[in-house]
Chains A and B, each alone.
Chain A
Amino acid sequence: MSSDRPRDPKNNSQDVVESQKPQLNQQLFNQETIDKIAKLSRLAVSDQQALAFSQQLAQALKHFEEISTVETGGIEPLITPTQIENWTREDVVDRGLSVEDMMANAPERVGNLFKVPPVV
């Protein structure tokens, strides 16, 4: 596994001996692809999960690729199933949720601010 991928703390990858190392599906979801998607998805994935996902997703996607046989030239993609009805409402001020309501579920807070790691 690449070293830059965040690891699930519950999974100790050092326990995986060389011979038992996951054999990732080489065609669709190789190690590089799984690493890339996990990173894009902001998901820590254990070695064990990576192996299982690689096989399961490859199998599913192989099946899903059946749709490539459907002729779709010039067809407008359907994004939402019913016709969008455009309607407006009066632009009036309404009472929203209080700051305390909005902050009540915060995992960590400092006053009325959400506490996060440094972002700049």
Chain B
Amino acid sequence: MNPLQMSLSEMAEGVRQQKLSSRDLVEFYRGRIQKFDKEINSFISLNEEAGAEASRIDEAVKSGRSNGRLLGVPIGIKDLLCTKGLATTAGSKILSNFIPPYDCTVVSRLKEEGAIVLGKLNLDEFAMGSSNETSYFGVCRNPWNKAYVPGGSSGGSAAAVAMGLAPATIGTDTGGSIRQPASFCGVVGFKPTYGRVSRYGIVAYASSLDQAGPMTRSVADAALLSEVISGQDPLDQTTTQRKVPTWQSQLKADLKGLKVGVLKEFVTDSLHADVKKTVNAGIEALCEAGAEIVEVSVPLTKFAVPVYYLIAASEASSNLARYDGVKYGHRAEFSSLSGLDLETFYSKTRGEGFGDEVKRRIMLGTYCLSSGYFDQYYTKACQVRRLIKNEYDSAFAKCDVIVSPVTTTPAFKIGERVSDPLQMYMNDLFTTSTNLAGLPGISVPFGFSVDRLPIGVQLTGAPFAEQSLLNCASALEVAANLKGVVPYES
């Protein structure tokens, strides 16, 4: 059995039936990481206890104590999620020495189902970026072409799955950070509805937008992982009390009775011809799978990027105030603390600890929230946010799922946009509105550019209507028929 061709359920079942051992699975992926990750740089650190944890699971199986939908399955975790005893850096110097004393809820739930944390994955610093280039631990590279970015901020999580360095990973999505790198690397990236997945123990960037989700080789794997990590959590009041459906077992690629809305606004001047072609082919595939295609309009999406950046930066400037060099994290060196001015202490520590993109966003957010500008920027952005949500509500009165591009272009070259933040931000045109309205969204690999870079198709669903979304994703997956198309020799 080749672990690169098995679903997560098959792996867990294999371990349960002792057809394969969890230890072998861990060693297999660690071997690949050792061989291939020097070039890709998708992992920031590895869990050195993974092998021992796997052996304990194998022992438990032998003695008849074996439960869990992810029994013995190694999973990679974005280094934004706290893992007990394992360094959690958020891709930043300021947290480079931080070892959490607890697991975030997402990781606890994975472990409860028997999963093993394989290691911690590279990301843009504090998840602020669309290319993985702002990481303190160096850029991660796109496995399909190492001169290109893997996308961001969950670049490591996407690249590791694409390269077969982990069977599946967890990413987070604040403005597209799961879906965009999934598209760039040719994997499935799913952001459930805001409120499905607990944010407890995930390093906060913009709390009203952040949501964790799976990055996988298949839609079925994404459905399963989402089932495991979703659900009400007493430690996060924004989680919903709604029961978590059995998404995986109800997956079907037959879309009869479903209405798919084509976003009228998706054709923009900046849309790359290969992306347009891929999305149009995706629409055709959804139609052939039985969906009725209707046109829908969300005109205010053209303001999604400004609204997103104003709100996200504002929330970030508040969330990141906690990094003060007192309780944990980097502290600047001072010859003596006595007589030292507290402001200098904070400013020097934070000035050294944060990279440029994080500083830019903290400063933008501080500006937006400062006296005299609050209403002009923050309040105004929140008002437009409500109007965007209202437009989506109207659109979902006409359809079940909306189809659109994920990004305007396929992956871009490393270094190409790094000195032009605005150009980088505009890349998030199609993904940010999903977060602003709290909707579920998924990127499904559907084709390639003429330069042989993957292109995904984005599907957006009504709040808590993940099943329709996943079924459409499944139909796209069947039509794309990309199983076995990988950037390495298989």
Contacts and interface: CB of A to CB of B under 8 A. Distances in A.
A67 B377 CA distance: 9
Contacts of B463: 82
A76 B387 contact: no
A interface residue count range (under 10 / 10 to 19 / 20 to 34 / 35 or more): 35 or more
B415 interface: no
B363 A82 contact: no
Interface string B314-333: 00010001001111111110
Contacts of B383: 70, 72, 75-78
- Which of A37, A76, A80, A82 has the most C-beta atoms of chain B within 10 angstroms of its own C-beta? A82
Interface string A11-51: 00000000000000000000001101111111111000100
Contacts of A82: 193-195, 238, 240, 438, 463
Contacts of B352: 8-9, 44
B367 interface: yes
Contacts of A52: 356
B240 A67 contact: no
B347 A42 contact: yes
B425 interface: yes
A93 interface: no
A84 B195 CA distance: 9
A1 interface: no
Contacts of A117: 334, 337-342, 345
Contacts of B387: 70, 72, 75
Contact of B363 (A53, A72, A102): A53
Given A41-B366, A84-B238, A72 B384 contact: yes
Interface stretch (B97-105, B108-116, B162-170): B97-105
B385 to A, nearest CB: 4
B343 A97 contact: no
A52 B379 CA distance: 27
B360 A76 contact: no
A16 B389 CA distance: 49
Given A81-B389, A87-B241, A117-B341, A105 B99 contact: yes
Nearest to B195: A82
B373 to A, nearest CB: 10
B116 to A, nearest CB: 23
A65 B303 CA distance: 10
B412 interface: no
B200 interface: no
Contact of B309 (A8, A45, A64, A77): A64
B277 interface: no
B390 to A, nearest CB: 9
Contacts of A89: 234
Given A49-B359, A60-B364, A67-B381, A102 B101 contact: yes
B303 A78 contact: no
Nearest to B308: A64
Contact of B367 (A37, A104, A107, A114): A37
Given A89-B234, A97-B102, A57 B367 contact: yes
A106 B328 CA distance: 5
Contact of B329 (A9, A107, A108): A107
A57 B425 CA distance: 12
A30 to B, nearest CB: 12
A45 B195 contact: no
A89 to B, nearest CB: 5
Contacts of A38: 347, 363
B344 to A, nearest CB: 5
A56 B377 CA distance: 17
Interface string B203-244: 000001100000000000000000000001010011011000
Given A49-B356, A81-B208, A57 B382 contact: no
B348 to A, nearest CB: 5
Contact of A67 (B195, B303, B370): B303
Contacts of B237: 84, 87
A42 B323 CA distance: 10
Contacts of A76: 383, 386
Contact of B380 (A45, A67, A80, A97): A67
Given A57-B364, A61-B367, 9 more contacts: A38-B347, A39-B347, A44-B347, A44-B350, A60-B421, A61-B364, A81-B385, A87-B232, A87-B237
Interface of A: 6, 8-9, 33-34, 36-45, 49, 52-53, 56-57, 59-61, 63-68, 70, 72, 75-82, 84-85, 87, 89, 97, 101-102, 104-108, 114-119
State the 3 A-B residue pairs at the shortest beta-carbon distance, nearest first: A81-B438, A44-B351, A77-B382
16 contacts: A9-B332, A43-B350, A52-B356, A53-B363, A57-B360, A59-B421, A63-B422, A64-B377, A72-B384, A77-B382, A101-B101, A102-B101, A117-B337, A117-B340, A117-B342, A118-B342
